[in-house]
Structure 1
Amino acid sequence: MAQESASITQACEAFVRSLEEGRYYDAHEDLESLWHPRRAEENDEVRLWKGFINAAVCFELIKRGRPKPSETAWQTYLKYSPLLEHLVTPHKQLYVKIVQIIERQRGKLCPSS
């Protein structure tokens, strides 16, 4: 369990660094390796990771000049982000930080939304 917790923390910290540096594709990859093996689980934490990945995809699509597909990815992020409110996990504070960074990046990339 401790090893799994460390790998979640490492993946999330890498995700944060990539987001803050505008490396959205890399951010997606940082969490993909964590999420993909567990994607079929009925688990809100895993679903939240999917939302975070979709936020990074949205930002990468905006960066590539593809605003319409980016909106689809953003809607997926919005679908899963409310799961954080009731999630019980030792990583909650880290996830709160991620949401704040995602919202800040969205404001920079889409100031009118």
Structure 2
Amino acid sequence: MTSLPLHPLVVHLPIALAVLLPIVALALAIAIARGAIARRWFWVVPIGLLLTAATGYAAMSTGELDEGKVGRLIGKKLVHEHEERAELFVWSAVGLAVAAFAVAFLAARSFGVTLI
């Protein structure tokens, strides 16, 4: 195992998901519109947003564990600002996930699409 604190290891997953998910969503929308893949693939987007929120929460939680160590090095003000941005990230991901699931359920009902 590594001697690094857990937060720097965990934080990369929600960031990667946040960067890649819009690209995946666009590619899925194009593929579905062209009939290249089944409509049920649109579930990838709300599930991806839910994973983004969950991994963001995990990153935020591990950051709180390391807060004392880092706060002494760079100052509590910067750590607090970083924490505020993490909370905004997680709540934004939760809101987007809720909206995406609502749209997905409505679309599934309209098109008769199931999750599986």
With the length of structure 1 as denominator, give the TM-score of the two structures. Answer: 0.42
**Structure having greater relative contact order (Cα 8 Å, sep ≥ 6):** 2
Give the number of the structure whose alpha-carbon radius of gyration is greater.
2
